Structure 1
């Protein structure tokens, strides 16, 4: 298993907000670094299954994304798209008709940086 590495993404639909994800798979970490370097231009949006509890590395939100489920995508179905503030405000509904299976794929997610240390 790779050393846990954290990245930040933003969404234009949630101005000023940042969401921290933790990656634990070496190939996914490499993929994220290629996105930040501008080498990966297609599969650049974040997808994963949310867990309804705060993670120490993402304290501004009442949920986080299960690191073992995080992948990057080019296109996804609409039913998993939502902005991070909407997910936070409607977390009690997530996993039902809203974000079925707790899958979250914010279409406008954009990795902005890797957190060091």
Structure 2
């Protein structure tokens, strides 16, 4: 077997394993537990509120630790936005892509904007305003976890 074929076979097998593991059922027919999902409300200097969705267990725990006061590290929210409404955040015409949300202490100015300013200038987002659709409101802070429905 050539070196290229061997590398392709190993990569294909690894990709197949990941895709198979991500499915809802195993070979024995048991259902896999869904990834955790949690929703949090953030607020900025304008006192407007915005709901975010988190799916990463470590980020969910960090958010809960921020709310409880257990930590003060990385208190602000950053991520890439999508220019459409999310069911959990219907007031706004945009939301964070859940797989991109993270937390920070300090960030560059080009991604800073308030919640209403993003809404008012959403058509400009992705260009000179919020390049790459990365939004990092410097005054963002989590205020509560949204109870599960």
Answer yes or no: same fold by TM over 0.5.
Answer: yes
**RMSD over equivalenced CA pairs, Å:** 0.9
Is 1:38 matched with 2:69?
Answer: yes
Q: Scaled by the length of structure 1, what TM-score is found?
A: 0.95
| 1:39 CA displacement | 1.6
Tell me which residue corresponds to 2:80. Answer: 49
C-alpha offsets along residues 59-82 of structure 1, whole Å, 9 cap, x if unaligned? 000000000000000000000000
Which residue in the other structure is 2:36 paired with?
Answer: 3
Residue 131 of structure 2 corresponds to residue 100 of structure 1: yes
Larger gyration radius, structure 1 or structure 2? 2
* Counterpart pick for 2:112 among 52, 77, 81: 81
Equivalent pairs, count: 115
Runs of 4+ off more than 6 Å: none
CA deviation after TM superposition for structure 1 residue 11, in Å: 0.7
From 80, 91, 94, give the equivalent of 1:63: 94
Q: Which has the higher helix share?
A: 2
Give unmatched runs, 5+ long, in structure 2. Answer: 1-33
